[in-house]
Structure 1
């Protein structure tokens, strides 16, 4: 798995030191998930991590029945709760017995500030060719529709996902200025944002949201490899307005047709109401624009996620 979003030019500083000694201690303290037998693991702890993101890093530690394992470790104090939230939701989704359109990460064990997971071979959706991105976007639309339509367990609230759009105005203005877009693109971004703000706010039940389904959080099997894509990084999962999830979905393939696919598969109360739907569409495009601006301001255009942001803002 390339399995973490592309590394931004400047990661936030880590306040939880993670070194080889810390990894060894965490491995010794792992508590297995139900049905997992850790004694069958062939331990081979690497000297260095394989990947590092904003909140976590991935450290190879061995294999279980031929499947490579990595320890996903919090690198910042604020990430601790995200790992626990992720495991809670993944347990619930697997326990439902529902056939999902995409795969979920396989959590094998937990320790303080860490989870043991299977490594996923593949590449993130932002690094794939256009035809693959379109196909994966359709799978993601069906995946989110299925998740949103199911029960929503009690999970901690994410302060920037699933929330009223109006609470993100300051961040939108800051990122719009930093993006320094050509006049036509800036005008389009402002118009989409204002349309979202003018739309009726979400008043339905609080749906279960992934929180951050952008293309860097979808792992696609390598060309020729069997199986569906995997939706990873559930640490931002929350409950609330589905528009923020749909904004992340639009980063994969910015078209109204993708939103229509989501609507066809979703079954939450109100999805068939045209007024509710039209307001959701406007809010979703506003969220997508907000997220695209954040990507453009954080990643160069040559990076997969930087390109994702530019594609949406030019659509």
Structure 2
């Protein structure tokens, strides 16, 4: 019996068709695949499913596909992720090299794409962060912020992304989108989400020049090297065109610090020794783009509210069995966090 036959069949992967597709895609680029392939679902993702795919020669790739089962429309568009990273390949933004996109759902039940595996570290929690010394963590902080600035400095027309999305009305579009996603789930209504939606909608700042917006930019959506430098930016599923300060607001939401009333992640790495404060994050970003960003409080509130909406959908999909096996995911605990986040968004908005 082959190794491919011996391994448990991972949810969302039809091994033989995927093997054939990958062999053809890699061969077209001048490489080769040595079957059988082994598929390991990567822990940590709460939306699309990511697998490390390894052949018997030890070569690895990363495969991304939507969750299994029924999923919300537009939330898991593999073609968008693939297009963005392909377009960014010649820029200063570090992204993995794309192998190919498969939009033939007969292969494994949904579209998927494959990219080269990037060796490095995803700093998901304090335990991982503690493997770096404080000097390296300082360098990591600077690199992750400066890399975000590089995303926002991309010439979207030059790289072929000028028609990727509407350029105007970004925040209004996002408010409408995420409120719609919440309304489409089977989760109970969260009053704080409703109130924050109304208040955010009534006070949208004027948008400047449209830029590429990652949509979920944070430390654990990057791969860093031993020196702390960002080697690759991952998880482009929420990317669009719009107001880059939304990314800065999201980073501030995820950049948990001691004394915060909430944590946006299970064990935020930024609570480890050596990480800088939020105002230093803003300062590094301003230096990188060459201008002041003014009051980012609205964007911090907006990002926190949006995270509540995203988490609401993740909990809904997990309870419906669409996220694969993840014994570490505390659905009830995260459901309570939805309310906490929405209330924190209101607090941030009132303080801005």
Residue 92 of structure 1 is matched in structure 2 by: 87
1:211-244 C-alpha deviation (Å, 9 max, x unpaired): 21134422344xxx35623321122221011132
1:249-308 C-alpha deviation (Å, 9 max, x unpaired): 1134351321221111115xxx45xxxx335x13321123224535776565999xx7xx
- Give the stretch that moved more between structures: 55-64 or 281-290: 55-64
Question: Could you tell me how far apart the structure 1 residues matched to 2:255 and 2:244 are?
Answer: 17
1:112-134 C-alpha deviation (Å, 9 max, x unpaired): 32322223345433314376776
**Pairs within 5 Å for 1:304-315:** none
Question: Could you tell me how far apart the structure 2 residues matched to 1:148 and 1:195 are?
Answer: 23
Question: Could you tell me how far apart the structure 1 residues matched to 2:253 and 2:143 are?
Answer: 14
- CA 1:133–1:216 in structure 2 vs 1: closer, same or farther (change >3 Å)? same
Q: CA deviation at 1:147?
A: 1.6
Question: Could you tell me how far apart the structure 1 residues matched to 2:67 and 2:30 are?
Answer: 27
1:115 aligned to 105, 113, 116, which one?
Answer: 113
The runs of 5 or more residues in structure 2 that have no matched partner are: 1-10, 104-110, 257-277, 316-328
Question: Could you tell me how far apart the structure 2 residues matched to 1:87 and 1:249 are?
Answer: 23
Secondary structure of 2:216's counterpart equals coil
The runs of 5 or more residues in structure 1 that have no matched partner are: 1-15, 181-185
Residue 219 of structure 1 is matched in structure 2 by: 223
1:231 aligned to 230, 233, 252, which one?
Answer: 233
1:139 aligned to 117, 139, 143, which one?
Answer: 143
- CA 1:206–1:59 in structure 2 vs 1: closer, same or farther (change >3 Å)? same
Aligned residues of 1:87 and 1:107 also touching (Cα < 8 A): yes
Q: CA deviation at 1:62?
A: 2.1
Which structure is higher in RCO with an 8 Å CA cutoff and minimum separation 6? Answer: 1
- CA 1:144–1:227 in structure 2 vs 1: closer, same or farther (change >3 Å)? closer
1:8-59 C-alpha deviation (Å, 9 max, x unpaired): xxxxxxxx953223423432452778xx3123x3333126645565223315
**Normalising to structure 2: TM-score of the pair?**
0.58
RMSD of aligned C-alpha atoms? Answer: 4.5
- Give the stretch that moved more between structures: 82-91 or 292-301: 292-301
Residue 198 of structure 1 is matched in structure 2 by: 203
Question: Could you tell me how far apart the structure 2 residues matched to 1:59 and 1:169 are?
Answer: 30
Question: Could you tell me how far apart the structure 1 residues matched to 2:309 and 2:162 are?
Answer: 29
Question: Could you tell me how far apart the structure 1 residues matched to 2:188 and 2:218 are?
Answer: 19
**Normalising to structure 1: TM-score of the pair?**
0.64
Residue 290 of structure 1 is matched in structure 2 by: 305
Q: How many residues align?
A: 267
- CA 1:149–1:23 in structure 2 vs 1: closer, same or farther (change >3 Å)? same
Question: Could you tell me how far apart the structure 1 residues matched to 2:22 and 2:164 are?
Answer: 26
- CA 1:196–1:246 in structure 2 vs 1: closer, same or farther (change >3 Å)? farther
1:241 aligned to 236, 240, 243, which one?
Answer: 243
